[in-house]
Chains A and B, each alone.
Chain A
Amino acid sequence: MAIVNATPDSFYDRGRTYGVGAALDRIDQVIAEGAAIVDVGGVKAAPGGDVDETEELRRVLPVVEAARERHPDVVITVDTWRASVADTLCAAGADVINDSWGGTDPDIAAVAARHGAGLVCAHAGWQSPRTRPHRVWYDDVVAHVIDHVVGLAERAVAAGVRPDGIVIDPAHDFGKNSRHTLEVTRRTGDLVATGWPVLMAMSRKDFVGEVLDLPPDDRLEGTLAASAIAAWLGARVFRTHDVAATLRVLAVVSAIAGDADLKLGRRGLA
């Protein structure tokens, strides 16, 4: 899942793909690199200037419309917490709603159901969208995450969302300090054991930055290490800024796991 930020101010790319042309170039590039999913978002996660529904749609809708036309077969997800925005974007061809703030808008599952769209059920500890975690305490963070995301997934099914379109996402760093996020990653197997496909959104995030004391530009290796571990433990979808590198890591993990064969089988075999 390739991150496509239709934002001027997201933490890593800082507006590099802002504007319809730049976003479409990015989409063409990540699809060429092998991304199966493109995730388009119009509001950065961190607090800052207000982005209302009109502005969010102004940023995202033309990107989704054009991407749908250019790439009929790619899965398009839209990163939004607003049911009304998701409604418009699904009508324009989005396949999945990536509700990364964890169900703060109670109508979002009904929107997914109405359009036959998928839904990402995430955990942000019931924090309001675009707020930072502050002294958050969990008796058992993984139990909290599982209760939350499975609860959202079951509610989504009850609301009529197609069960094969639901994935769960522990939402690294959202509503969590770095130790919480590391524990969630360490116990990926517990999330996988719920039976729902697991999405990991770890790319260049602060938990990697705090392990290494490095800024976003220098967090690729740390992200890939976390991705390899999560893949080994059974996570299925990886939301990333770095498609080619992530796919190489996942290919090697799959080969070690015995799930994928060699691309070349000559060494010692000629």
Chain B
Amino acid sequence: MRINAVAFVPSAPLLVPAVAGGSAALDDDLRSAAVDVTRRLHESDEIIVAAPTDHAGEWGSEATWSFAGFGVPRRPSPAGAVLPWSLGIGAWLLEASGWSGPRRYLGIGAEPWSTPAATAGNVGLLVVGDGSSRRTEKAPGHLDDRAAGFDASIARALAGGDPVALGRIDPELATDLMCAGAPVWRWLAAALGDDRPTTADLLVDDARYGVGYFVAGWRFG
């Protein structure tokens, strides 16, 4: 698998306007940044969406998103398999960014991870996941004083193009801090092996709802 670009986006359901409802516009900045960084993957021949899921799995281009389990009415008669919601966010971002090329969806469950089948050409990875959900008193997991430092180290790794640091995320601490992104970032570090990005930039690093949101892009070669 020749990875030529990676885009990092949050796994917040409210990124999808139909989920956010009347408050969607309040997060247009976050949504636009996520769509913009997804669009950078359009130079690739294929895009693989990777997201944390309860069980590992792989889905093809025909799979589609639904947020019915969050109480959002399902789109009229979705064709194909319905993705787990975290991958659905990636699928929605691909659609919002205008991508109509080949794509696959990888649900990153527990270790050991399987490596997706290699394909010819360049692969762009859309990595869906976020930092601690315990950044503030009002956060989904309430405040944990360790969360800010934990997320700061992730932000540094994303800004510095440092997959080794992502691979070193402590899974137990990540679980304590309700960090949804840890498994997928650690998977990414393993998938990249010795590859290092030539450029890296971090577009968003905030915790507006107590969850660490990151938007970042890496380019290789």
CB-CB contacts of A175-199 with B at 8 A, as 1s and 0s?
A: 0011110110000000000000000
Q: Is B221 an interface residue (CB 8 A)?
A: no
Which residues in chain A, 124-180, are within 8 Å of chain B measured between CB atoms? 131-135, 137-139, 141, 177-180
Query: Are A134 and B142 CB-contacts (below 8 A) given A180-B71, A183-B71?
Result: no
* A119 to B203 CA separation, bound complex (whole angstroms): 52
* A132 to B137 CA separation, bound complex (whole angstroms): 11
Q: Is B64 an interface residue (CB 8 A)?
A: no
Contact: B70 with A137, CB < 8 Å? yes
Number of interface residues, chain B, beta carbon within 8 A: 16
Q: Is A72 an interface residue (CB 8 A)?
A: no
Instruction: Give which listed residue, A133, A137, A177, A178, contacts B85 with CB less than 8 A.
Output: A137
Contacts of B85 in A (CB 8 A): 135, 137
* A213 to B85 CA separation, bound complex (whole angstroms): 26
Number of A-B contacts (CB under 8 A): 39
Q: Is B178 an interface residue (CB 8 A)?
A: yes
* A243 to B3 CA separation, bound complex (whole angstroms): 63
CB of A45 to closest CB in B, whole Å = 12
Contact: A179 with B72, CB < 8 Å? yes
Which residues in chain B, 14-73, are within 8 Å of chain A measured between CB atoms? 22-23, 68-72
Contact: B140 with A134, CB < 8 Å? yes
Main secondary structure of the interface of B (DSSP, over half): loop
Instruction: Give which listed residue, A134, A137, A178, A182, contacts B141 with CB less than 8 A.
Output: A134
Contact: A177 with B142, CB < 8 Å? no
Instruction: Give which listed residue, B69, B141, B180, contacts A131 with CB less than 8 A.
Output: B141
CB of B3 to closest CB in A, whole Å = 28
Instruction: Give which listed residue, B22, B23, B142, B178, contacts A48 with CB less than 8 A.
Output: B142
Which residues in chain A, 44-74, are within 8 Å of chain B measured between CB atoms? 47-48
Which residues in chain B, 66-100, are within 8 Å of chain A measured between CB atoms? 68-72, 85
Contacts of A180 in B (CB 8 A): 70-71
Q: Chain A interface residue count: which class?
A: 10 to 19
Contacts of A133 in B (CB 8 A): 140
Query: Are A132 and B13 CB-contacts (below 8 A) given A139-B69, A141-B71, A177-B70?
Result: no
Contact: A138 with B141, CB < 8 Å? no
CB of B46 to closest CB in A, whole Å = 28
Main secondary structure of the interface of A (DSSP, over half): loop
Q: Is B133 an interface residue (CB 8 A)?
A: yes
CB of A182 to closest CB in B, whole Å = 7
CB-CB contacts of B166-184 with A at 8 A, as 1s and 0s?
A: 0000000000001010000
Query: Are A179 and B70 CB-contacts (below 8 A) given A134-B178, A137-B85?
Result: yes
Contacts of B137 in A (CB 8 A): 48
Contacts of A48 in B (CB 8 A): 137, 142
Which residue, of B13, B22, B69, has the highest number of chain A Cβ atoms within 10 A? B69
* A131 to B133 CA separation, bound complex (whole angstroms): 12
Contacts of B72 in A (CB 8 A): 179
Name the CB-closest residue of A to B140: A134
Name the CB-closest residue of A to B211: A134
CB of A270 to closest CB in B, whole Å = 50
CB-CB contacts of B99-140 with A at 8 A, as 1s and 0s?
A: 000000000000000000000000000000000010001001
Which residue, of A133, A135, A141, has the highest number of chain B Cβ atoms within 10 A? A135
Contact: A137 with B69, CB < 8 Å? yes
Query: Are A213 and B71 CB-contacts (below 8 A) given A48-B142, A132-B141, A134-B178?
Result: no
Contacts of B142 in A (CB 8 A): 47-48, 131-132
CB of B156 to closest CB in A, whole Å = 25
Contact: B133 with A138, CB < 8 Å? no
Chain B residues in the interface with A (C-beta under 8 A)? 13, 22-23, 68-72, 85, 133, 137, 140-142, 178, 180
11 extra A-B contacts, CB within 8 A, seeds A134-B141, A138-B71, A213-B23: A47-B141, A48-B142, A132-B140, A134-B133, A135-B85, A135-B180, A141-B71, A179-B71, A180-B70, A183-B71, A213-B22
Q: List 12 A-B contacts (CB under 8 A).
A: A48-B137, A48-B142, A131-B142, A132-B141, A132-B142, A134-B141, A135-B85, A135-B140, A139-B69, A141-B71, A179-B71, A179-B72
The 6 closest A-B pairs by CB, nearest first: A179-B71, A47-B142, A134-B140, A137-B69, A132-B140, A180-B71
Chain A residues in the interface with B (C-beta under 8 A)? 47-48, 131-135, 137-139, 141, 177-180, 182-183, 213
